[in-house]
């Protein structure tokens, strides 16, 4: 595998897994640690990935040269079906909270033209919704660290959210399991999502099957706090049954 092809595959794997350590990259792609580090550095310099915790994680807007979103994300079809199923759970007139993420971005597209309220700290989701009539969009303020995503973060974001009430909160996550609950990669993002969760009547998780049974860096909320988990039809039966047994409604799209 040549250098460019290997780096394209690294981006795809990062989007699928959420995070990889440099030694994991070296092992998966049968290259040296030095080569894996150079690959991560090169991809970070060009804005394709984010270096973090001795490894790398994906940028949601990372696209391969000459490709589109579908070329980057091997689970785009699953995420679109999850988003369509999740949109059916939203009633007209409700106020919906949306975290940042690839699956919630697809959900935002499904909500275009709907008479609903949307609260989000993700700039890309707000722009997606603002392009259509229907949704009333509130983009909460804060600090935008574009190198780490499209979300607005910080104390100002928390203060604005503390004055809002949402009927539903849809969270896109990096891991969900009975043992660890709902987890995501970034602690700053997790803190904002915890505030959003505290202001929401119901919390719904949207994630493809690769996130089931996984644990990411930062715990967001315990599994008991979730009302519904919307995923695709390829999840492991044993893990899904354990999630159902914990009291969470599971919708397989």
What's the pLDDT tens digit per position in 240-249?
999 999 999 9
Total domain count for the chain?
2
Is the model's pLDDT at 71 over the cut of 90?
A: no
Q: Does the structure show a pLDDT above 70 at 69?
A: no
Mean pLDDT of 84-99: 96
Of the two residues 117 and 21, the one the predictor is more confident about is 117
Please indicate, yes or no, whether residues 83 and 178 belong to a single structural domain of this protein.
yes
Inter-axis angle of helices 102-110 and 76-87, nearest 10: 50
If asked whether residues 9 and 87 sit together in one domain, one would say no
Which of 50, 71, 92 is the endpoint of a domain? 71
| Domain identity same for 229 and 106 | yes
Which position has the higher pLDDT, 162 or 60?
Answer: 162
Among candidate residues 18, 42, 71, the one where a domain is terminated: 71
144 and 183 both lie in a single domain: yes
CA separation for the pair 93, 202 (Å, rounded): 15
Residue entry with tokens 């440099």: 22
Residue 219 CA, distance from chain mean position: 14
Q: How far is CA 124 from CA 60, 61, 120, 168, 247, in A?
A: 10, 10, 10, 20, 33
Cβ 252 vs Cβ 232: under 8 Å: yes
204 lies in which domain range?
76-252
**Average pLDDT over every residue of 203-214:** 95
Whole-prediction pTM value?
0.75
60 or 121: which leads in pLDDT: 121
What percentage of the chain reaches a pLDDT higher than 90? 70
When pLDDT is cut at 50, 70 and 90, the band that residue 86 belongs to is very high
Q: Which of 17-21, 117-121, 238-242, 243-247 has the lowest mean pLDDT?
A: 17-21
Which of 45, 71, 97 represents a domain boundary (last residue)?
Answer: 71
Give yes or no: residues 11 and 116 share one domain.
Answer: no
- Residue 42 token pair: 């090169």
84, 48: one domain: no
């Amino acid at each position: 595998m040549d250098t460019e092809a290997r780096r394209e595959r690294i981006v795809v794997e990062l989007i699928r897994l959420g995070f990889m350590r440099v030694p994991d990259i070296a092992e998966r792609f049968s290259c040296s640690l030095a080569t894996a580090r150079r690959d991560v550095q090169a991809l970070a310099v060009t804005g394709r990935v984010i270096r973090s915790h001795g490894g790398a994680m994906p940028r949601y807007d990372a696209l391969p040269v000459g490709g589109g979103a579908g070329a980057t994300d091997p689970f785009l079809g699953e995420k679109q079906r999850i988003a369509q199923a999740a949109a059916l759970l939203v009633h007209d007139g409700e106020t919906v909270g949306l975290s940042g993420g690839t699956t919630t971005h697809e959900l935002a597209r499904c909500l275009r033209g709907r008479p609903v309220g949307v609260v989000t700290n993700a700039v890309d989701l707000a722009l997606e919704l603002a392009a259509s009539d229907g949704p009333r969009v509130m983009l909460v303020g804060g600090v935008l660290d574009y190198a780490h995503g499209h979300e607005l973060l910080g104390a100002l974001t928390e203060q604005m959210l503390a004055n809002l009430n949402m009927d539903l909160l849809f969270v896109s996550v990096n891991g969900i399991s009975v043992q660890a609950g709902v987890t995501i990669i970034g602690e700053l993002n997790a803190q904002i999502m915890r505030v959003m969760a505290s202001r929401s009547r119901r919390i719904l998780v949207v994630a493809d099957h690769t996130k089931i049974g996984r644990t990411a860096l930062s715990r967001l909320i315990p599994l008991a706090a979730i009302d519904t988990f919307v995923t695709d039809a390829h999840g492991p039966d044993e893990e899904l049954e354990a999630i159902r047994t914990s009291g969470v409604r599971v919708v397989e799209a």
